[in-house]
Amino acid sequence: MVLFTIAEPGQGRARQVIKRKRAAGIDLGTTNSLIAIAKDGKAEVIADVHGQRLLPSVVQYRAGGSRTVGIDAMSPLPGATIISSSKRLLGRGLADIQHQLPYVLQDAAKGGMVNIDTATGPVSPVQVAADILQALVERATTQAGGELDGVVITVPAYFDEPQRQATRAAARIAGLNVLRLLNEPTAAAVAYGLDQQLQGTIVIYDLGGGTFDVSLMRLHKGVFEVLAIGGDSALGGDDIDRAIADWMQKSSGSSGMPVEDYRQLLQQARAAKHALTTVTTTTVRIGAWQAEFTRSTLHELMDSYIETTLKACRRVLRDAGLAAADVTDVVLVGGSTRTPRVQQKVQEFFGRAPLCSINPDEVVALGAALQADVLVGNKYGDAALLLDVMPLSLGVETMGGLMEKIIPRNSTIPVSRAQEFTTYKDGQTAMSFSVFQGERELVSDCRSLAHFELRGIPPMVAGAARIKVSFQVDADGLLEVQAEEMTSGIKSSTVVKPSFGLVEHDILDMIKASIESAAADKALRTLRERQVEAQRHIESLKAALQQDGESLLSVDEKHKLEQVMQELTVAAAGADAVLIERLTETLNNQSRDFAGRRMDAGIKTALAGRRLDALGEKP
Amino acid sequence: MAILLTENAAKHVASQMAARGKGVGIRVGVTTTGCSGMAYVLEFVDELNTEDKVFANHGINVIVDPKSLLYLDGTEMDFVKTGLNEGFEFHNPNVKGECGCGESFTV
């Protein structure tokens, strides 16, 4: 029995039962997509009317404009076009796509996203994603009752800005309110963290149909902190299917298949791969040709792909300064982790049995549903707070075109760092700042993000001004760079979106290149530093010669200095760091006497000044 | 047509009104909400509306709007203590069904 208290006027009426908001988590996968809904901290995947939980990310477009999504779309009708694995095309240009696809692409307007040739005309990958989303939402409304107030859609950790925008656009077309895009491995961590109160340092190994992500996360008191991320956005079960299909083509001696036959070959390859999860050999055939496909052949075909994933694991551990032994748990995500070979290799690498207690196909959607429930306002217990990381270092260009990193790669955001710089020339009143992103030592190998100037620096001798450059990245990944001259307080700043325009394989390439070219970069950096140093000496000697060269040096002495200076100028334009250093040293030694005389002359002038003053007092 | 207050309820209303320091009485009403159709409204009254009906009980003015009165006629409001909880309780002869918690009802 409920008991009442007397409320203030007007407030008793305001009491209403608050309607529970409905939010779903969507795993928009390369091969399969899922939708899940959470209630009171428990998430559940929503099945379709036939009880199917996975929706194949396949859309069939027919002449006349009709379309089907999912399993029904997989059986080809004459004249129809079947689109699969189109997630890889989201936010991509034709130049980004190198692998063979079972359908034809058209390049869109300059710099735009590709379109896919279909029976209904060109279709954008965004439209394909929207069709898949719509099919998922239909499940949620018909099977789990009612409209959705919002969704959380998961994306690979390496998805860049255009790819994330394309995902959001697809959701908009499908009429969905996107609460947040969540990284897939993070969603998996949410699912495990909240369901099982897992604590410690965990690795999320996510090998899906088309993408591989590895995330190193720390779970502590319900807070997930991403320590490091890595992976390969163009590696997954599809590659293994393709490797099997290619092996079949090669073994059978057939080549140059029509698109439709190749698509069927891929399906057969996938079926064979799945069969080998439970049996040790299976039969494959192309036309009249047939052969035994064994586990050991499969292992030969897929081991190089697994090795690539383990390399990424190694890199992520190194980034976080951890060893495999520090990892308390490994979580397997993605259908490809069902393959016994993958589980075996991962176990060998981390020295522990990986976790797979939650269905690896569903774990991401379940985590997303839990986050969606929190974000839409249905709080249960402690809401999880997620921290993100910067994928690449941020810095400014310094003299000589060098990259001075201010915020290192994999820093958790929000983050704020500052560093002091100074002027290069006497009386310098302005400084220009170029903001770069990348791992290389020279800015020419990094990506330029922004450019701004700081003007009105009070004239001072070179090196006397103190300019504080601060970098601040907020929770949305927005970077603000500010430069402030500390003695005068003058300021200048700019705001940039660091991830904008970076295609994720660029990020990977940039990181890879920085490792491969570390030694060469270091040598280049040394050279540039010597060049800048030499230039600085030449500049100051030139200024001194202009001022006192005639009065303090003999013609011969002046000529000698100018000769060394000339030699150094030539050397500084070259690439011999040792020669530049030697000549800089020579110039230094030979001008020491001149510098001494200048100092004496300065003192004499000062003393003479005083004598004049003293004289001046007499009359 | 009447709304009744038990003596005990009137005593508690009086002391709460005294503590509040102002007001002409208490409003009892219904609003359409809850899981079973209607819910009670119970609040202090500082100003009367023109269509309000006022019932005096043990020196307390119980104020009801005419629409609510249709659903509340004959209701007795009591003050009860059950375990750690105490508060007002409605005995409404019009009620045909209540939701599990008793917060809402149907007539």
pLDDT at A110 over 50: no
Helices (H), ranges, A463-517? 504-516
Of B34, B35, B44, the CB nearest to A6: B44
Interface test with A, best of B35, B41, B92 (most A CBs within 10 A): B41
Chain A residues whose CB is inside 8 A of the B99 CB are none
Banded model confidence at residue B101, pLDDT cuts 50, 70, 90: low
**Residue A7 sits at the chain B interface (C-beta within 8 Å):** yes
pLDDT number for residue A99: 60
pLDDT at B35 over 50: no
Banded model confidence at residue A385, pLDDT cuts 50, 70, 90: very low
* Three-state secondary structure call for residue A322: coil
Banded model confidence at residue A587, pLDDT cuts 50, 70, 90: confident
Q: Which residues contact A120 (CB under 8 A, 6 or more apart)?
A: A61, A62, A63, A64, A65, A67, A81
pLDDT at B36 over 70: no
Q: Which residues contact A25 (CB under 8 A, 6 or more apart)?
A: A35, A36, A37, A38, A43, A151, A152, A154, A182, A187, A365, A366, A367, A368, A369, A370, A371, A372
Which of the four CATH numbers 2.60.34.10, 3.90.850.10, 2.60.40.10, 2.102.10.10 does domain A390-516 have? 2.60.34.10
pLDDT at A213 over 80: yes
Interface of B with A in 41-60 (CB under 8 A): 41-47
**Residue B19 sits at the chain A interface (C-beta within 8 Å):** no
Banded model confidence at residue A97, pLDDT cuts 50, 70, 90: low
pLDDT number for residue A294: 94
For the stretch A215-220, contacts whose Cβ atoms lie closer than 8 Å and that sit 24 or more positions apart, written own/partner, are A215/A157, A215/A183, A215/A185, A215/A186, A215/A189, A215/A316, A216/A316, A216/A317, A216/A319, A216/A320, A216/A322, A216/A327, A217/A185, A217/A186, A217/A189, A219/A189, A219/A193
Cβ contacts from A onto B, under 8 A: 60
Range of the domain at B39: 4-106
Q: A512 an active-site residue?
A: no
Domain ranges of chain A: 23-387, 390-516, 520-616
pLDDT number for residue A221: 58
Chain B residues whose CB is inside 8 A of the A13 CB are 29, 31, 41, 43
Banded model confidence at residue A608, pLDDT cuts 50, 70, 90: low
Point out which residues pair with A417 in neighbouring strands. A471
State the CATH number of the domain containing residue B25. 2.60.300.12
pLDDT at A618 over 70: no
pLDDT number for residue A46: 92
pLDDT number for residue A615: 45
pLDDT at B103 over 80: no
Q: Largest alpha-carbon pair distance within chain B?
A: 40
How many structural domains are present in chain B? 1
pLDDT number for residue A455: 85
- Tell me which chain A residue has its CA closest to the CA of residue B63: A9
- Whether A16 sits inside 8 A of B33 (CB atoms) is yes
Of B33, B42, B86, the CB nearest to A7: B42
**Residue B90 sits at the chain A interface (C-beta within 8 Å):** yes
Banded model confidence at residue A205, pLDDT cuts 50, 70, 90: very high
Distance CA A388, CA A473 (A): 11
Banded model confidence at residue A222, pLDDT cuts 50, 70, 90: low
A23-387: CATH number: 3.30.420.40
CA B103 from chain center: how many Å? 13
Tens digits of residue pLDDT in A232-249: 877 888 899 999 999 998
* Three-state secondary structure call for residue B31: strand
pLDDT number for residue A275: 92
- Whether B27 sits inside 8 A of A10 (CB atoms) is no
Q: By mean pLDDT, which of A53-62, A100-109, A232-241, B14-23 is the weakest?
A: A100-109
Interface test with B, best of A5, A8, A11, A13 (most B CBs within 10 A): A13
Tens digits of residue pLDDT in A5-19: 888 776 665 343 345
Distance CA A220, CA A204 (A): 16
Q: Which helix (H) or strand (E) holds A249?
A: helix A237-252
Q: A72 an active-site residue?
A: no
Per-residue 3-state assignment (H helix, E strand, C coil) for A53-120: CCEECEEEECCCCCEEECHHHHCCCCCCEEEECHHHHCCCCHHHCCCCCCCCEECCCCCCCCEECCCC
Q: A87 an active-site residue?
A: yes
pLDDT at A613 over 70: no
For residue A20, the distance in angstroms to the closest alpha carbon of chain B comes to: 13
Of A6, A10, A17, the CB nearest to B16: A6
- Whether B43 sits inside 8 A of A11 (CB atoms) is yes
**CATH number 3.60.20.10 is the correct assignment for the domain at A520-616:** no
Q: Which of A48, A131, A160, A206 is catalytic?
A: A206
Chain B residues whose CB is inside 8 A of the A17 CB are 33-35
Q: Which of A48, A184, A232, A373 is catalytic?
A: A184
- Whether B86 sits inside 8 A of A3 (CB atoms) is yes
**Residue A19 sits at the chain B interface (C-beta within 8 Å):** no
Query: What is the average pLDDT across A585-612?
Result: 74
A256: DSSP letter: S
Banded model confidence at residue B22, pLDDT cuts 50, 70, 90: confident
Distance CA A395, CA A406 (A): 5
Q: A27 an active-site residue?
A: yes
Chain B residues whose CB is inside 8 A of the A9 CB are 27, 43-47
| ipTM value | 0.80
**Residue B15 sits at the chain A interface (C-beta within 8 Å):** no
Contact A564, A583 (CB under 8 A): yes
pLDDT at A403 over 80: yes
Query: What is the average pLDDT across A497-512?
Result: 55
| Closest by Cα among A73, A106, A81 to A92 | A106
